[in-house]
Amino acid sequence: DPEEEFFAEEVLKLERDVRETRLSVIVLADWYSSEALDEVQFFDDNTRSTWVAVTGGSNIPALNDLLAPFDIALSGKIFHGQWKVGKEVVAFKSGNSILGFPGPGYLVAGRGLKEYTKGSKGNKKQQKLRGGEPAEKKIWGTAFRSNDSRRA
């Protein structure tokens, strides 16, 4: 998770390494939302004052710049909760969903997660479209087939 923006040269280098040398990349990131920052505050015993967060857990805008050459984008929406993978229950503490992802990648969707919205403390239920599909899929895991040289 970057603290600062990536230089254009770094983005180009990563893209070249992934496409030409088949470098594998794993991105792990926490949440980020400019709306939620207004509500993230805590009382600091040392200074005896309330502190307001300056940034979220991750620099999602910088990660989006890094992932843009691969047509991958993380959303600004925060989710939390748990879902089942086979017989196992997976806890998802907090993070952003994937807004855009190209084929032919594999995606794992976390159904039943709750969306954090301003003032909700994370209790908004997932909205549904006709047919029971989520309005925006909450996707948490991604991987490309290793034998597909057209994509990352």
Lowest mean pLDDT across 13-17, 42-46, 87-91, 136-140: 136-140
The dihedrals phi and psi of 11, each to the nearest 5 degrees, come to -65, -45
- Cβ distance 75 to 96 under 8 Å? yes
- Cβ distance 28 to 96 under 8 Å? no
CA distance 75 to 64: 9
Tell me if 89 is assigned to some domain. Answer: yes
Number of domains in the chain: 1
Tell me: the pLDDT tens digits for 75-85? Answer: 888 888 888 87
Q: Six-digit token pair at 70?
A: 């691969």
Tell me if 73 is assigned to some domain. Answer: yes
- Cβ distance 66 to 111 under 8 Å? no
Tell me if 91 is assigned to some domain. Answer: yes
CA distance 111 to 136: 11
Lowest mean pLDDT across 17-26, 72-81, 112-121, 141-150: 141-150
Tell me if 152 is assigned to some domain. Answer: no
Tell me: the pLDDT tens digits for 88-137? Answer: 888 888 888 888 888 777 777 777 888 887 665 544 444 432 333 344 44
Tell me the residue range of the domain where 112 lies: 8-143
Tell me if 151 is assigned to some domain. Answer: no
- Cβ distance 78 to 94 under 8 Å? yes
Tell me if 19 is assigned to some domain. Answer: yes
pTM (2 decimals)?
A: 0.68
Q: Six-digit token pair at 85?
A: 């993978």
Closest CA to 77 of 42, 43, 110: 110
CA distance 66 to 59: 11
Tell me if 149 is assigned to some domain. Answer: no
Q: Would you list the DSSP string of 70-120?
A: GT-EEEEEEEEEEEEETTEEEEEEEEEEEEE--TT-EEEE-TTPEEE-TTT
